[in-house]
Amino acid sequence: MDGTTQPAPEGFDALLAWIEAEIAAPDAAPLTLQRIAAHAGLSPYHFSRLFTARTGRSVMLHVRQRRLSAAARRLAGEPGLKLANLAFDSGFESQEAFTRAFR
């Protein structure tokens, strides 16, 4: 990202790819606004504003939706999977947080 008013398209695409890789990584550190913004080289506030302007949704809503999509695909492929395991594997703090987000 170049730090101007709008992220460069190639930089933004690379950042989205990094977010996807972090969501898919089983042992990655928690994906927080602070961590994503640091990866982009911006303050959390500035990054959040740019991301929302670019996508129409907050970065954490984007992360949650991508996690839920990945979890739904996995659940469809593994019907006997325990929800608690799926919740933790998908980056949620608890099964309760996962089911609330899934509604």
In a domain, 2, yes or no: no
pLDDT greater than 60 at residue 3:
no
Q: How far is CA 94 from the centre of its chain?
A: 16
18 has pLDDT over 90: yes
Tell me if 97 sits within 8 A of 74, measured CB to CB. Answer: no
What gap in Å lies between CA 67 and CA 59, rounded to an integer?
12
Whether 85 maps to a domain, the answer reads yes
Q: How many domains does the chain have?
A: 1
Residues 50 and 7: beta-carbon distance below 8 Å = yes
Whether residue 40 is contained in a domain is answered as: yes
Q: What is the pTM of this model?
A: 0.79
The 10s digit of each residue's pLDDT in 29-49 is 889 999 999 999 999 999 999
Task: Please check whether residue 76 lies inside any domain of the structure.
Answer: yes
| Residue-range definition of the domain harbouring residue 96 | 9-102
- The answer to whether the CB of 44 falls within 8 A of the CB of 37 is yes
51 pLDDT tier (thresholds 50, 70, 90)? very high
* Residue 67 confidence (pLDDT) above 80: yes
Average pLDDT over residues 56-61: 95
Within 10 angstroms of residue 15's Cβ, the number of other Cβ atoms is: 19
